[in-house]
Amino acid sequence: MTARVNEPEHASGNASRMDHPADASAGSRWGLLADRDFRLLWAGQTISKAGSSITTVALPLVAVVELNASPLAVGLLTAAIWVPWLVLGLPAGVWVGRLPRRRLMITCDVVMGLSFTIVPVAAWLHALTMVHLMVVAMLSGIASVFFSAAYQVYLPELVSSRDLIEANAKLQGSASVAQVAGPGVGGLAAQAFGAVSGLLADAATFIISATTLVLMRRNRAAEPQSSKRASEAVSGKPAPGTGKLRTDIADGFRFIVRDPYLRAITAFGAAANLALTAYQSIVILYLVRELHVGAGLVGPLAAVGALGGVLGAAVARPLCRCLGTARGVVIVQLAATPFAFLIPLASPGPGIALFVLGSTVLVAGVVAGNVVFASFRQAYAPPEMLSRMITFAMTINHSSIPLGGLLGGGLGTLIGLRATLWTTAAMLVAACGILLAGPIVLHRDLPTAPKAPAAESV
């Protein structure tokens, strides 16, 4: 869940993150939206998320409606989007730390925009096959690996650490709003113009996102590189994050594995993503074949859970203030995940209300957790370790997603769609045990910096 407080600032190592022009907007009633560069990032990502949410409906609909795909084929299609994380996730963390983040994000947006034009073109030429869909899913997945890593690292370079909860809440909240509208638009467009039309709309949103990034004035993503080169020139040794690829990957791995907070959060994210993706990979089939929903309503019903995302983003900051970042996120997960059991209880007609309620509350918990956990990671790591730590955590979390797609498709074929949803709901509840077993439940707030090893004292 990939899946983000008025926290104290880092005592050491991260002071440079506090000197941002965005701080000048702190007194504004608009908060970070008063800052032009953040506003451009927010607008571009909101539009891009709307396009991506259209694709979550359009891509499987193309497979089901145009190509009569089986549950297993739809599961494979979902998995193909996330497979690149298995291969490229770890080295991407190192490369992102060495490249200008904004320029890399622009390149990825353009690649994804061009990729999603392939399917409509193939459909118009009457040559569309599952191979085309798999290739597009894989290409977009590769670009997404680099964009997601760069985006997570770029945000704490754009805003101060004390504003990360607000920044992530605004981005997650607007993304949830986009996810409400996107699938609805995708479903209606599929009914009116054909399923492939949604993919063309998504391609356009990536170009819009790239344009907003180009219009940004500050180029903070290039600053870490110059400081690393200066450090290397003075010391005569490679600066952190500029050594051998294997060594840098190993450093990021050790940083995650040795830290009890990062270890627990990463394991929880991986387990939750496995269950959530298994659910998501068959939810379109469930709506169409079990609840007998028409194509025009598939999108709105698939997106209704995103309303919970708006709620989750809205309550994240006040919840953290009231209960603390650690205690609040645990309580939210324990309260929200059992609502997943309402989804397989749904039935055609009025019984669809159970699907709506279950998915809404479940997504609210997911998004609130995303806001807290993402902000924690971005403020917790030393700057030289940030890209590797974030990308390693994302790789572990996202690596379970293709497995979830295969699991959902496989179980849907073997035991049926409704039984699969019961299984995924049980898996989500069981994943909360990882948080309960870690150190998070022992504290009111998550820490803002790792503890220095005792051996380092003189």
How many domains, the chain?
1
Q: Please tell me the predicted confidence (pLDDT) of residue 253.
A: 79
Q: What is the rounded CA–CA span in Å between residue 224 and residue 51? A: 31
CA dist., res. 421 & res. 300, Å (int): 19
- 8 occurs within a structural domain: no
Q: Is 12 among the domain residues?
A: no
Q: Does an H or E element contain 343, and which?
A: none
Check residue 455 and give its pLDDT: 43
Per-residue CA distances from 115 to 112, 143, 144, 357 (Å) = 5, 10, 12, 35
How many angstroms separate the Cα of 15 from the Cα of each of 96, 204, 449?
21, 39, 12
Q: Over the chain, what is the mean pLDDT?
A: 77
How far is CA 434 from its chain centroid? 20
The pLDDT assigned to 183 comes to: 58
Task: At 131, list the tokens.
Answer: 């191979």
- Residue 194 binned pLDDT confidence (cut-offs 50, 70, 90): low
- Of 90-94, 256-260, 272-276, the poorest mean pLDDT is in 90-94
Percent of the residues in the chain that have a pLDDT greater than 90, as a whole number:
10
At 255, list the tokens: 């940083």
Report d(CA 51, CA 48) in Å as an integer.
5
On whether residue 6 sits in a domain, the answer given is no
Query: How high is the pLDDT of residue 322?
Result: 87
Alpha helices in 338-444 (DSSP H): 352-380, 386-414, 417-437
Q: Is 7 left (phi over 0), alpha (psi -120 to 50) or beta?
A: beta
The two structure tokens encoding residue 221:
């993503």
Predicted local distance difference test score (pLDDT) of residue 343? 93
> How would residue 337 be classed by pLDDT, with cut points 50, 70 and 90?
very high
Distance CA 199, CA 128 (A): 13
Specify if 227 maps to a domain. no
162 band by pLDDT with thresholds 50, 70 and 90: confident
Does some domain include residue 20? no
Is 277 inside any structural domain? yes
pLDDT band (50, 70, 90) for residue 361: very high
Q: What mean pLDDT comes out for the span 413-433? A: 92
Give the residue, 51 or 343, on which the prediction is more confident: 343
CA dihedral angle for residue 57, residue 59, residue 65, residue 70, rounded to 10 degrees: -100
**The pTM of the whole model exceeds 0.75:** no
Q: Which residues form the domain of 75?
A: 33-220+241-450
Spell out the residues 6+ positions from residue 30 whose beta carbon is closer than 8 angstroms to its own: none
335 found inside a domain: yes
- Is 16 within the bounds of a domain? no
Helix or strand (DSSP H, E) at 262:
helix 260-285
For residue range 115-147, list pLDDT tens digits in order: 888 888 888 888 888 888 888 888 888 888 888
**CA dihedral of 413, 418, 424, 425, whole degrees rounded to 10:** 180
Residue 423: predicted pLDDT? 94
Residue 243: its pLDDT value, please? 54
The CATH number given to whatever domain includes residue 362 is 1.20.1250.20
Give residues with Cβ within 8 angstroms of 346, minimum separation 6.
Answer: 291, 352, 353, 354, 355, 358
- Interaxial angle between packed helices 245-258 and 260-285, expressed in degrees from 0 to 180 and rounded to the nearest 10: 100
